[in-house]
Structure formats: C-alpha cells, structure tokens
Amino acid sequence: MKHIPKLSSSPAYTTDWGSAYCGDSLDLLSQFPDNSINLVMTSPPFALLRKKEYGNKEQHEYIEWLSEFAKIVLKKLTLDGSFVLDLGGAYQKGVPSRSLYNFRIPIHFCDDLGFYLSEDFYWFNPSKLPSPIEWVNKRKIRAKDSVNTVWWFSRSEFPKADVTNVLTEYSDRMKKLLEDPDKFYDPKKRPSGHDIGKGFGKNNQGAIPSNLLQIPNSESNGIYMTGCKEIGIKSHPARFPAKLPEFFIKFLTDPEDIVVDIFSGSNTTGFVAEIERRNWFSIDMEIEYVAASAFRFLDKGCSADELFEVYNLIKKGCSVDITKYKKQMCLFREEQAGYAA
C-alpha cells in the first residue's frame, strides 16, 4: 500500500482517492516529501497578451515565474516520475509574429533546472475557435492556432512509462489485414531498406499512438458544466478535456500512484485519476473554482439545492467528504421517497 502524504492544510474536499486544496501551490507542493510524487500533470495559465480572469503572467516574466514551481516539482518527483506540462502558444504584442516562450521553457528546464525532456507532444483541438481574432478573423493573414505544446519532462532518463496502456484503435484497413494478412499485405522492403516482414500482421490489441493527440475540447453537458449552469455560476474558462490527462495518467502511472495537479482549475486531472484509481491531489488559488470542481464527483441526479449546498460549504471553508455526503443524500432521498409513498 502506497504511503499517502498528509498536508498541514485542510482539503476543501476529499473523495475515495483524492483531496482538493485551495491555496498557493508553492506552499502546498513544498509539504510533499521528496521523491513521493509519480506524476505532476498540469496546465498553468498561459503567457497570453490578453489578461484572463483566472490570471496569467506577461511573457517576459513567465519562464521565471513557472520555474519556481518546476524547481519544487523536480525534488518531489520519484526518480522515475514525470512532469507533464500543457502550454498554449501566443503572439508577440501588436504583430503577427509568434512568441517563443513555450519553446524556451523546455530548454531552460533541461539546461538549467535538471529535467530531461522525455518527449514532446502536440495536442490538436479540432473544435478550437479561430484565434487570434486580429490576424485570423479580421485581416485573414494567419491560420487559426489550434495546437498546444505538451512537454513530457522527467527526473531521470528512464521514467516509468508503458505505451501498451494507451494503444489506439486499429484503422479499418488494419483490422482487415489482421483478419487475413495474406490477402491484404504483401511484405516487401521499404525504400529505406527496412524489411517489415509478416510480423507486421500480429494483433497487439491496438496501435501505438503518435505524439500528435487529436482531442476535441467540446464537452458541454457533463455534470460539471451542468452543475455550474444549474446554480448560476461561471465554469472555469480554460478547462482541458478528460482524454488529455487520461492519456498521460494511463501512460505514465500505475494504480495507487500519486498524481498531482498544481493549477487544477475545474479539476479534470483529479476526476480522471479517481476513475483510474490513482491517489490524487489538486491545488488551485481560487476558491470558486475549487468549490465548483467538486461537482465532478457528485451523482448526476443531484438537485440544484444539493449542488448549491456543497458549493457553499466549500466556499465557507468547510472540508467536505464527498463520499460521505453522497451517502447522506442517498439516504435522504430514500426517506423522502418513503414519505411520498
């Protein structure tokens, strides 16, 4: 059984597998024992020109700001642990020329902080709206920016990883090939000289994924979004889809490992870690976002009153045990149904 760290602060809420905190990530992250975290998966506020309501730094100060967190992450990771960082691109101020801030980060993290870049991933979001408006929509001199860089950093050259946990579905052609290799595939040498041979027709239960992750970010009717609408509060404006942390959690960790998100927002990472039976910790500075993120762990049948109660309890500083709360609500509904009968 893995030892789960105990932090000095009380969590905003807890579940069977995790704890969500409202506070400063630098402080809370420092409380973890060294060599204790298997994966830090996060998406910090980007260094955009236009200020966002969830807070973001200017481009010239961004790398220095993010490095303060990365230095602590490096010490807290297990020797085979990973740090996955999702970053969006940006333009230079007033001109259609790209900022290099997100490319300078891996150079700085590896050359100066001691990380290794295990692999670079690119998250293509086909549902992303055209932006930036000035160069794409108005002047029509640039294509829309729909790819984020996702850097997979590690503490050592050989981090824990198993690509067989994230195999993708075979294409229709590959399925036909596997059914009858002789009919659909004649092994020949490639122009490069590689001889693929008949072994290419072996069924491995899926194809090895590429480092281009095509994941739409269009979720609109899940319990989190529905809950926010039900009680009339704003949802977090920069959520990432569950499939993104799911890929890296399955790829880089084992059940009962420790997963941490230091800029958790609506806590998609914690939600996926809960499903995958990983111990998780999430941290965010804004109590409104932390309180609303609890909706992800409630039952879909929760009423607006129940959602509002959980939200208000967390905002007031109460530490809510979500598992216990759901059991109480279930008993209450059963009693109410008995009275109605």
Average pLDDT over residues 107-114: 98
User: Buried b vs exposed e over 203-213: b needs ≥16 C-beta within 10 Å?
Assistant: eeeeeeeeeeb
Which residues does the annotation mark as catalytic?
43-44, 86
**Whole-number percent of the chain with pLDDT over 90:** 66
Domain with CATH 3.40.50.150 in the chain: 13-163+211-223+240-290
Confidence of residue 273 (pLDDT cuts 50, 70, 90): very high
Superfamily grouping for domain 13-163+211-223+240-290: Vaccinia Virus protein VP39 (3.40.50.150)
267: alpha, beta or left? (left if phi > 0; alpha if psi -120 to 50):
left
49 band by pLDDT with thresholds 50, 70 and 90? very low
**For the chain, percent of residues with pLDDT exceeding 70:** 83
Most confident option among 60-74, 87-101, 110-124, 174-188: 110-124
Taking phi first (over 0 means left), then psi (-120 to 50 degrees means alpha), and beta for anything else, what does residue 240 get?
Answer: beta
pLDDT of residue 238: 82
Across all residues in the chain, what is the average pLDDT? 88
Q: What is the pLDDT of residues 139-175, one digit of tens each?
A: 999 999 999 999 999 999 999 999 999 998 766 666 6
Range name among 18-22, 82-86, 106-110, 334-338 with the lowest pLDDT average: 334-338
pLDDT for res 251: 98
β partners of residue 212: 122
Q: Which two tokens stand for residue 143?
A: 């294509």
- Which of 253-262, 303-312, 328-337 shows the lowest mean pLDDT across its residues? 328-337
What tokens were used for 80? 């085979």
Q: Is the pLDDT of residue 55 over 60?
A: no
Q: At what angle do helices 101-108 and 59-76 cross, to 10 degrees?
A: 30
Query: Cα–Cα distance between 331 and 341 in angstroms, integer?
Result: 15
SS3 annotation, the chain: CCCCCCCCCCCCEECCCEEEEECCHHHHHHCCCCCCEEEEEECCCCCCCCCCCCCCCCHHHHHHHHHHHHHHHHHHEEEEEEEEEEECCCECCCCCCECCHHHHHHHHHHHHHCCEEEEEEEEECCCCCCCCHHHHHHCCCCCCCCEEEEEEEECCCCCCCCHHHHCECCCHHHHHHHHCHHHHCCCCECCCCCECCHHHHCCCCCECCCCEEECCCCCCCCHHHHHHHHHCCCCCCCCCCCHHHHHHHHHHCCCCCEEEECCCCCCHHHHHHHHCCCEEEEEECCHHHHHHHHHHHCCCCCCHHHHHHHHHHHHCCCCEEHHHHHHHHHHHHHHHHHHHC
Looking up tokens 């967190």 gives 69
Task: Taking the CA atoms of 138, 140, 143 and 149 in sequence, report the sign of the dihedral they define.
Answer: negative
**What number is the average pLDDT over the span 249-253?**
98
Q: Which residues contact 214 (CB under 8 A, 6 or more apart)?
A: 124, 126
Q: Which residues contact 82 (CB under 8 A, 6 or more apart)?
A: 38, 39, 40, 118, 152, 153, 154, 155, 159, 160, 161, 248, 252
Q: pTM score, two decimals?
A: 0.89
- pLDDT tens sequence across 176-203: 666 666 555 555 655 665 555 555 556 6
